[in-house]
Amino acid sequence: MPAKKRSSRRRSGGRKYSKGAGKTVASAMRRRKRGTLKSGKRGKGGSVKSRKQAIAIGLSEARKKGEKVPSKKAA
């Protein structure tokens, strides 16, 4: 009998991010809508307008809290 071939696709099931990380990202999105989400160190970079940037800031905050979040991709 031939051996089972492993698929390269990610298995469905299990979470990529923890629930707490999702809540942190959601709060960052709300702050972006209100116009209070700031970028840069200590908010010196101005207000965030991009949806993607708001998600990145939320994930970064979740990492600092110690939530389950995959590490950043290498540039």
Residue 29 domain boundaries: 19-65
Residue 4 belongs to a domain: no
**Structure-block tokens of residue 58:** 């939320």
Q: With H, G, I as helix, E, B as strand and everything else as coil, classify residue 57.
A: helix
Which token pair is 9?
A: 């696709």
Is 43 in a helix, a strand, or coil?
helix
Q: Residue 73 domain-assigned?
A: no
Position 70 in a domain? no
- Asked if residue 59 is part of any domain, the answer here is yes
Q: How many domains does the chain have?
A: 1
30 within a domain of the structure (yes/no)? yes
Q: What is the per-residue pLDDT for 1? A: 64
- Is the pTM higher than 0.85? no
Helices (H), the chain: 19-34, 51-65
Q: What is the pLDDT of residue 49?
A: 92
Maximal CA-CA distance, the chain: 63
Write out pLDDT tens, residues 22-62.
999 999 999 999 999 998 887 788 899 999 999 999 999 99
